[in-house]
Amino acid sequence: MKKEGYKVLSSFIKFIIIALIVSDVLVMASLPFSLQWLMSVFYEGNIAKMYAFYMIILYIFGILMLFILNELRVIFNSVEKSDPFILRNVTALKRISKASMITCVIFLVKTFAVNTLMTMVSLFIFFIASLFCIVLAEVFKKAVEYKDDHDLTI
């Protein structure tokens, strides 16, 4: 019974990750039109320079989020197979950490160009996420070592 609930939760999270991947692709596809419309509603005057800046920043964020979500999908695939302690997950967590740090740096650049409260909050969140993934990768690495040692002993 307990194992079935675990599988259901894992499948549900995997479904959410796939839905987020599809949403990210759809948002990036509609970005040229939706951003222009949003900027015309919320900004007055010449928006050409800000439009180009936001397009670059948002496409970089979208690509990084696709990368992070895909790595999470890989991790949850191994969780569904009941084998989460593999080196591929350690690599995935390190990649997520690097992508989060790149996102953090981009938010830092955005802070100097167009600073908002949400930019500062996002910068902090991605910085913490990067550190969290580094620590989690090391924990998984140790677990993989213990698991391999245990498998060799038996």
32-73 pLDDT, tens per residue? Answer: 999 988 888 877 777 777 888 899 999 999 999 999 999 999
Number of domains within the chain: 1
pTM assigned to the model: 0.87
What DSSP designation does 83 have? -
Query: Using N-to-C axis directions, what is the helix angle for 2-42 and 48-80, rounded to 10°?
Result: 180
Write down the residue that tokens 């939760």 correspond to.
Answer: 9
What mean pLDDT value characterizes the chain?
A: 89
Domain that includes residue 89, residue range: 2-153
Cα separation, 151 vs 56, whole angstroms: 48
Does residue 4 register a pLDDT over 90? no
Does residue 123 register a pLDDT over 70? yes
Cα separation, 65 vs 119, whole angstroms: 16
Of residues 140, 66, 52, the one with CA closest to residue 103: 66
CA gyration radius, the chain: 19
- State residue 1's pLDDT score: 42
Query: Using N-to-C axis directions, what is the helix angle for 117-153 and 87-113, rounded to 10°?
Result: 170
